[in-house]
Amino acid sequence: MSPPARSVDWRVPAVWAVLLTVSVFAHAHVEIANETARGVRMSYGTALAIQISSHLVVAALVPAIYWLHRRWPIAERPRNLLIHVAAVVPFSIAHTVGMAALRFVWFGGILGETHSFPLTFDRMLYEFAKDIIAYGLLSAGTVALRHYLSPPAPSLVVETTPRAEPAPSEPRPERFAVRRKGREVMVEVADIDWIEASGNYAMLHVGDETFEIRSSLTRLEGELDPKRFVRVHKSHLVNIARVVEVTPWVSGDWRIRLQSGAKVNLSRRYRQRFEALAPVRA
C-alpha cells in the first residue's frame, strides 16, 4: 500500500521568495554604494534591475540545488561534497550567462539603454568567485529548510514478517570471511545492517563497523536470502529485519532508518520489491 499523498508545503517557496527579495534590496544598496565610491552615479531603478536579473536566475537554479542535495546528500557520504564542489562550475556559468541575457533584454531590448556586461574570461572568473559563496549559502539554506522548516513526515509502521517464498535450490551463505588488518574476520550475514556498492567491491555495514569484500552488489543480491535482503536502491541492499522506520521523503522516494541509526534511500523504482517483503501500512 502506497503512503498517502502529501500536499505541497508552500512555506518553502514562500521563505525562498522572502529571502531572495530581501537580498535584492540589500544588494541594490551595496551596488549603489560601490558605484558612488567609484565616482559613478547610478539610479536606484538601475541597481534594482541589475540585482533582480541576478536573483531571478538564482531562483530558477534553486530546484537544481535541491535535486543535487537529494541525489548526493553531503551528510550521507563525505565524498558527495566533491560533487557539490564540482557543481559550482555549471552553477556559476548558468548564473552569469542567464543574468547577462536578462540584462540585455531589459536594458537593450525594452528600455533601449546601453548596459555593458561583457562575458569575458575575467568577468566569468569574477562572477565565479562570488558564486562559490552563493552556492554555499544556497546549499546551507536548502539543508536547513528541509530539516527545520518542513514538517516531519509521518512515520509508517513496517511489518517485517516476510512473506513465504519457495526454498532456494542451494544453501545461502550464513557468514562472510573478510580480510582486515592482515587476518580473516568472520562476519555473520544476520548481523549485516545494509550493503553498499563501491565499484568492484561491496561495503558491509555492521553496526558502526564497515567491512569491504570483492563482489558486485548484483552478485550478492543473488547469493543472499531474498526473504532477508532486499534491493532498495541501485547502490543499496538492506537487511529487512534491521529496518525500524520508513518515512516518505521527496519525489516519491522514501527514507529507511535502520537499527544502527543509519539512513538509506528507498528509491521508488525498488519500492515494490520492498513492500513485497515488508508491507507498509499508514
Q: Give the model's pLDDT for residue 274.
A: 84
Contact 70, 250 (CB under 8 A): yes
**Under CATH, which number does the domain 157-281 receive?**
2.40.50.1020
Report DSSP state, residue 151: P
Query: For the packed helices 11-37 and 44-71, what is the interaxial angle rounded to 10 degrees?
Result: 140
Domain extents in the chain: 11-149, 157-281
Residues of the chain with pLDDT under 70: 1-9, 75-77, 147-170, 250-252, 280-282
- Say what the pLDDT of residue 250 is: 67
The model carries a pTM of 0.53
Model pLDDT, residue 9 = 62
Length of the chain: 282
Kindly report, residue by residue over 97-132, the tens digit of the pLDDT. Answer: 999 899 888 887 787 777 777 888 898 999 999 999
The C-alpha atoms of residue 205 and residue 187 are separated, in whole angstroms, by: 10
User: What pLDDT score was predicted for residue 59?
Assistant: 93
For residue 136, what is its C-alpha cell? Answer: 554555499
Q: What pLDDT does residue 149 have?
A: 62
Spatial CA neighbour of 62 closest among 103, 15, 120: 15
d(C-alpha 117, C-alpha 115), whole Å: 6
CA 260/CA 153 separation, integer angstroms: 20
Q: Are 17 and 10 in contact (CB under 8 A)?
A: no
Helices and strands of the chain, counted as H and E runs: 6, 12
